């Protein structure tokens, strides 16, 4: 590797990021920023959605049958501790150098965060509310859909915010097996020492995470208007 | 003695929590601060051990301004009991109680044995010392809170609504326990509550505070009930003031009749409208009509002359069809009957005095 | 499976500066160094902010922001800017990423201690330091340790990724193996890292079991005290 780029940065001033973005945004070839952004969205959105879809029934079952929760939470607690890179590597022999190899582990991480969130969310339903729903003659399914899930929404969404932000940032590690979305900008910059791709990559990933986070906050406001009303009063 | 000398607490936003408060909490007595929320009672209490500092005026502890004493040192000499007990969850009960003695540098063995002794004193099994707070009920935790406050034998005890989070039955037993302890220990106690009945039951002196932190009245409970200083105090005392005052009127002077009792097999022939059937071992069975009519014994109420108040005697009278209260001794045996006429006379006297 | 026996069965992989023991030790050293430096910054800061109650909002916002930072991007950025003359450019992002979990959980742990408890502690005459050390920290310990565990997991993972920018450790087997299509090395190294991560997880779980008071974790066998005098 050559001299530290900080030296050149101080000597030459900051490189023109806009010019670099404009040149590389849509080259028409594989690996343009636009292309990588699309890949990044797919690889981070799929685990978020799949994680939620899988964690919901698992969480409902754990809340219903408490004996299930400890072992399930234990397993996902261990899964969460596994570093992503070796897991990607081990999966290559099964799923090849594909997006799936990145998507599967991220989905499991998402479940690890969302499972306790769903269980805690359902646990946050006050017992008197549950009892009065039973007393009013709600069937178990109606009670779940109309009473318990809405009350659980804030806790589940808080978990989903964590999942969204960390999935978006974790996808970039996939670049080390050639499937990293915007993370590919980092490996590209490292192989051919050049600052703009790293800076643009970091900024775009953080921006993406903030947008996702903001959308989830907005979703929470729309789904649970009573929370804000209570806070205002 | 604790002296409030023109004490004012004003917060930065201009709210006045305590306004020019002057009063004394005499040594060896229970002084209760009572009032609605926002009356500054807790603030006043917390200014004594400098959890809050007064803006103006002075608070003296046996003549020394508390402001001149370093807070930790001051507080180690003052017992402090709060609403949820505030026990340390990570320490066993015995270590919770031993906290202040250890801070004062006692050796561990001495502190622990003192803690065990205190657990017993507040009515807990010393074996509970090895448990953690979460393993105790609310009432038990509150007893531990009192034991912890007493651990280093401080002359002064501050109690901030200590019994308001437990259910009424437990609260009553905790109050009785406190009065029993106080009879043995003679601490200078300042007790804060929003419950006027608790104030009247526990207080040697009761300070009624009004919203804005001004003293409305400072008096002993009996005076408070009979001579409320103004409409605010009158309203705060609530209904039944007259009846409640009777709990400060003794029953030792009541003239009891002993000629109204009859044996269990009584079958009529008394000139009295009602007579009291008594078992062979002297216990009350119930009221019977003097002419033998009726049949089954009717309900009765009892009181213990000398120990119970006029309020209890009157209550006992109202429970029976005869309108008479049955006086019993400590062993539960009948010692006489207080008739309606006797009770009337005693009530008339109480109303005068 | 043959990859595993190729990797672990090769005696050359068990000695020298690029053998398994040396790489394992490196991984442990870098992870421990980064975690220790992060603790040095985050624990006192978390205690201070939690105890005084000032600056909490900034902590939470910056921690959320930190979660969005891509580790690989940060590593590449620092290495490009500062060069590879020392391991400093790699250690800096490692520490930076390890700080937020410890900071947030320490702060939350201290802040969420029941105010009544704090009140009781001051009321009994404990000094500010004693309240923090003898009451707040023991009660907040489960959350503080959770922060340490999450941070340790993060550091182990980031140290692995950092092999890409030239750091030693178990990540070397994976990165170098991938680059040279030596799949025995890739799979063997991956298994080693997974085992290492699980060991770290286990250590912190045990640490939690042994250091948190049973009164706080409520993990205690309830010995019923025979007593006829429980009036409440």
Q: What is the pLDDT of residues A72-107, one digit of tens each?
A: 999 999 999 999 999 999 999 899 899 999 999 999
Hey, which chains touch A, using 3+ CB pairs under 8 Å? C
Give the Cα separation of A46 and C43 in Å (integer). Answer: 36
User: Region B206-211: what's the mean pLDDT?
Assistant: 94
Q: How far apart are CA A171 and CA A57, in angstroms?
A: 25
Any idea which fold B261-352 has?
CBS-domain (3.10.580)
| From-to residues of CATH 3.40.50.300 in chain B | 2-248
In what helix (H) or strand (E) does residue B326 lie, and over which residues does it extend?
strand B325-328
Q: Which residue of B has its CA nearest to C141?
A: B90
Question: Among C138, C225, C231, whose Cβ lies nearest the Cβ of B123?
Answer: C231
Residue with tokens 């959890």: B51
Which domains occur in chain C, in start order? 16-217 (1.10.3720.10)
Q: Which residue has the higher pLDDT, B292 or B141?
A: B141
d(CA A26, CA A51): 31
Chains B and A touch (3+ CB pairs under 8 A): no
Q: Higher-confidence residue: C205 or A225?
A: C205
Q: pTM of the predicted model, to two decimals?
A: 0.83
DSSP bridge pairs for C205 = none
**B contact chains, 3+ CB pairs < 8 A:** C
Token representation of residue B308: 């119970």
In this predicted model, which residue has the larger pLDDT, B143 or B267?
Answer: B143
Q: How far is C110 from chain B (nearest CA, A)?
A: 14
What's the pLDDT band for C228 if we cut at 50, 70, 90? Answer: very low
CATH class of the A43-232 domain in this structure: mainly alpha
Residues in chain C: 232
pLDDT at C4: 85
Are B290 and B268 in contact, with CB atoms under 8 Å apart? yes
**Paired tokens of C15:** 């000695």
Can you tell me the mean pLDDT for B304-312?
89
Instruction: Tell me: pLDDT of C52 over 80.
Output: yes
Q: Where are the CATH 3.10.580.10 domain residues in chain B?
A: 261-352
Strand partners, B337: B257, B326
Q: List the structure tokens of B281.
A: 């071992």
Angle between helices C88-111 and C71-82 (to 10 degrees): 140
Residue B216 is encoded by which pair of tokens?
A: 């409305």
What's the mean per-residue pLDDT of chain B? 91
Q: Between C51 and C231, where is the model more confident? A: C51
Q: Answer yes or no: do C124 and B71 touch at CB < 8 A.
A: no
What's the Cα-to-Cα distance from A158 to each of A113, A117, A162, B57, rounded to whole Å?
Answer: 10, 8, 7, 50
Report, in angstroms and rounded to the nearest whole number, the Rg of chain A calculated over CA atoms.
22
pLDDT of residue C95: 94
- In chain C, what's the furthest Cα-to-Cα distance? 76
- pLDDT tens profile B87-115: 999 999 999 999 999 999 999 999 999 99
DSSP string, C195-228: HHHHHHHHHHHHHHHHHS-HHHH------PPP-S
Structure tokens at C56: 């909490």
Do the Cβ atoms of C126 and B170 come within 8 Å? no
Q: State the Cα–Cα distance between residues B91 and B109, nearest whole angstrom.
A: 16
Give the pLDDT confidence of B145-161 residue by residue, as tens digits.
999 999 999 999 999 99
Query: Do the chains contact at A202 and C73, CB–CB below 8 Å?
Result: yes
Q: Read off the DSSP letter of residue B150.
A: H
- CA distances to A4, A41, C18 from A183, rounded to whole Å, are 21, 12, 28
Q: Which of residues 79-108 of B touch C (CB under 8 A)?
A: 80, 82-92, 99-100, 103
ipTM at complex level: 0.89
Angle of CA points A197, A202, A204, to nearest 5°: 90
As a whole number, mean pLDDT of residues B246-262 equals: 87
Alpha-carbon span B123 to B146, nearest angstrom: 11
Residue B138: Cβ-neighbour burial (10 angstroms; 0-12, 13-18, 19+): middle
Quote the Cα angle for A224-A228-A230, to 5°. Answer: 110
DSSP-derived pairing of the beta strands B261-263 and B274-278: parallel
Q: How far is CA A225 from CA A117, A218, B263, B316, in A?
A: 20, 11, 75, 57
Q: C191 vs A86: CB contact, 8 Å cut-off?
A: yes
CB B249 within 8 A of CB B309: yes
Q: Answer whether C81 sits within 8 Å of A85, measured CB to CB.
A: no
| C62, burial (CB in 10 Å: exposed 0-12, middle 13-18, buried 19+) | middle
Segment A131-137 shows an average pLDDT of 88
CA dist C169 and C153 (Å) reads 15
Query: DSSP class of residue B96?
Result: H
Helix (H, G, I), strand (E, B) or coil at C47: helix
Cα B196–chain centre separation: 10
Pick from C124, C126, C139: which is nearest to B90 by CB? C139
Helices (H), chain B: 41-48, 71-76, 93-97, 99-103, 108-121, 138-150, 168-185, 196-202, 221-226, 231-237, 241-245, 310-318, 340-352
How many of the other CB atoms lie within 10 Å of CB of A162?
A: 17
CA distance to A24, B41, B175, B191, B352, per residue, from B202 (Å): 83, 16, 7, 9, 25
Cβ distance of A201 and C186 shorter than 8 Å: no
| SS3 at position A29 | coil
Residue spans per domain, chain A: 43-232
- Is the pLDDT at B350 greater than 70, yes or no? yes
Residue with structure tokens 């799923």? A95
B73 in contact with chain C, both atoms CB, cutoff 8 A = yes
Give residue A107's pLDDT: 97
Q: Do C76 and A173 touch (CB under 8 A)?
A: no
Provide the pairing of β-strand B205-210 with B30-34: parallel
Beta-carbon contacts of residue A187 (< 8 Å; ≥ 6 apart): A175, A176, A180, C72, C76, C164
**To which residue do tokens 């119970």 refer?**
B308
What span, in angstroms and rounded, lies between the C-alpha atoms of B199 and B192? 8
**Residue B217 exposed, middle or buried by CB count within 10 Å (0-12, 13-18, 19+):** buried
Q: Which residues contact A191 (CB under 8 A, 6 or more apart)?
A: none
Q: Is the dihedral of CA B339, B344, B347, B349 positive or negative?
A: negative
The pLDDT-based confidence of A231 (bands split at 50, 70, 90) is: low
**Average per-residue pLDDT for chain C:** 89
Angle ∠(B48,B51,B56) on CA atoms, nearest 5:
60
Give B2-248's CATH code, choosing from 3.40.470.10, 3.20.10.10, 3.40.50.300, 3.30.390.50. Answer: 3.40.50.300
Separation between Cα atoms, residue A80 and residue A199, nearest integer Å: 29
Q: What is the pLDDT of residues C121-177, one digit of tens each?
A: 999 999 999 999 999 999 999 999 999 999 999 999 999 999 999 888 999 999 999
Nearest in space to B195 (alpha carbons), one of B218, B216, B165: B165
Q: How many CB pairs under 8 A join B and C?
A: 108
pLDDT averaged over every residue in chain A: 89
Helices of type H across chain A = 5-12, 17-24, 33-64, 66-81, 84-95, 99-123, 127-135, 140-143, 149-170, 184-191, 195-223, 225-232
CA-CA distance, B273 to B320, in Å (whole number)? 13
């Amino acid at each position: 590797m050559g001299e530290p780029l900080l030296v050149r940065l101080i000597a030459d001033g900051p490189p023109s990021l806009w010019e670099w973005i404009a040149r590389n945004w849509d080259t028409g070839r594989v690996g343009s920023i636009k292309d990588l952004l699309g890949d990044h969205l797919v690889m981070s959105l799929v685990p978020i959605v799949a994680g939620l879809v899988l964690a919901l029934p698992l969480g409902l079952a754990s809340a219903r049958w408490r004996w299930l929760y400890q072992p399930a939470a234990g397993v996902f607690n261990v899964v969460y501790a596994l570093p992503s890179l070796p897991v990607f590597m081990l999966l290559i022999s099964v799923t090849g150098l594909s997006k799936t190899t990145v998507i599967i582990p991220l989905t499991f991480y998402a479940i690890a965060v969302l499972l306790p969130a769903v269980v805690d969310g359902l646990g946050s339903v006050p017992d008197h509310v549950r009892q009065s729903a039973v007393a009013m003659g709600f069937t178990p399914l109606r009670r779940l859909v109309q009473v318990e899930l809405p009350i659980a929404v804030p806790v589940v969404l808080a978990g989903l915010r964590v999942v969204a932000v960390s999935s978006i940032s974790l996808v970039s590690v996939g670049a080390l097996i050639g499937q990293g979305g915007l993370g590919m900008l980092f490996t590209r910059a490292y192989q051919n020492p050049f600052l703009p791709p790293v800076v643009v990559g970091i900024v775009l990933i953080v921006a993406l995470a903030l947008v996702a986070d903001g959308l989830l906050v907005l979703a929470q406001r729309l789904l649970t208007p009573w929370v804000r009303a209570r806070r205002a009063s | 003695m604790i002296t409030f000398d023109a004490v004012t607490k004003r917060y930065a936003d201009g709210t006045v929590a305590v306004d020019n408060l002057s009063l004394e909490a005499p040594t060896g007595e229970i002084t209760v601060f009572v009032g609605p929320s926002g009356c500054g009672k807790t603030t006043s209490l917390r200014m004594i051990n400098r959890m809050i500092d007064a803006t103006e005026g002075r608070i003296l502890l046996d003549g020394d301004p508390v402001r001149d004493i370093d807070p930790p040192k001051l507080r180690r000499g003052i017992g402090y009991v709060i609403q949820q007990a505030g026990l340390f969850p990570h320490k066993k009960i015995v270590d919770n109680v031993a906290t202040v003695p250890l801070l004062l540098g006692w050796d561990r063995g001495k502190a622990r044995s003192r803690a065990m002794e205190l657990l017993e004193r507040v009515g807990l099994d010393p074996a509970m010392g090895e448990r953690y707070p979460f393993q105790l009920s609310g009432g038990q935790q509150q007893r531990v809170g009192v034991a912890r406050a007493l651990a280093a034998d401080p002359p002064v005890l501050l109690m901030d609504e200590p019994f308001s989070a437990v259910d009424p039955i437990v609260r009553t037993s905790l109050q009785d326990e406190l009065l029993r302890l106080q009879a043995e220990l003679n601490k200078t106690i300042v007790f804060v509550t929003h419950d006027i009945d608790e104030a009247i039951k526990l207080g040697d002196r009761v300070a009624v505070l009004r919203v804005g932190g001004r003293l409305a009245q400072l008096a002993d409970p009996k005076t408070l009930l009979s001579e409320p200083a103004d409409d605010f105090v009158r309203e705060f005392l609530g209904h039944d003031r007259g009846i409640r005052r009777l709990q400060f009127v003794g029953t030792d002077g009541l003239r009891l009749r002993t000629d109204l009792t009859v044996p269990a097999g009584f079958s009529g022939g008394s000139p009295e409208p009602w007579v009291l059937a008594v078992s062979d071992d002297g216990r009350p069975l119930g009221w019977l009509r003097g002419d033998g009519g009726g049949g089954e014994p009717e309900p009765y109420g009892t009181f213990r002359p000398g120990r119970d108040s006029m309020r209890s005697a009157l209550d006992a009278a109202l429970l029976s069809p005869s309108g008479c209260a049955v006086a019993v001794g400590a062993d539960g045996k009948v010692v006489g009957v207080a008739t309606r006429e006797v009770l009337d006379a005693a009530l008339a006297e109480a109303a005068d005095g | 499976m043959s990859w595993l026996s190729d990797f672990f069965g090769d005696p050359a992989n068990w000695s020298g500066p690029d053998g398994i023991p040396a790489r394992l030790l490196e991984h442990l050293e870098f992870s421990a160094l980064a975690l220790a430096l992060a603790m040095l910054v985050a624990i006192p800061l978390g205690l201070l902010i939690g105890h005084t109650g000032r600056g909490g909002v900034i902590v939470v916002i910056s921690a959320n922001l930190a979660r969005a930072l891509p580790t690989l991007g940060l590593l590449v950025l620092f290495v490009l800017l500062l060069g590879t003359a020392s391991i400093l450019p790699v250690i800096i992002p490692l520490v930076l990423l390890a700080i937020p979990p410890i900071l947030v959980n320490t702060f939350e742990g201290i802040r969420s201690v029941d105010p009544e408890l704090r009140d009781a502690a001051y009321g009994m005459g404990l000094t500010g330091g004693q309240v923090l050390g003898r009451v707040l920290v023991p009660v907040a310990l489960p959350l503080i340790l959770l922060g340490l565990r999450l941070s340790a997991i993060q550091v182990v993972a980031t140290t692995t990724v950092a092999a890409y920018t030239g750091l030693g450790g178990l990540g070397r087997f994976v990165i170098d193996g991938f680059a040279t299509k030596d799949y025995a090395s890739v799979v063997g190294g991956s298994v080693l890292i997974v085992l290492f991560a699980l060991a770290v997880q286990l250590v912190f779980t045990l640490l939690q079991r042994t250091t948190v008071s049973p009164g706080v974790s409520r993990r205690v066998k309830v010995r019923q005290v025979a007593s006829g005098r429980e009036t409440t």
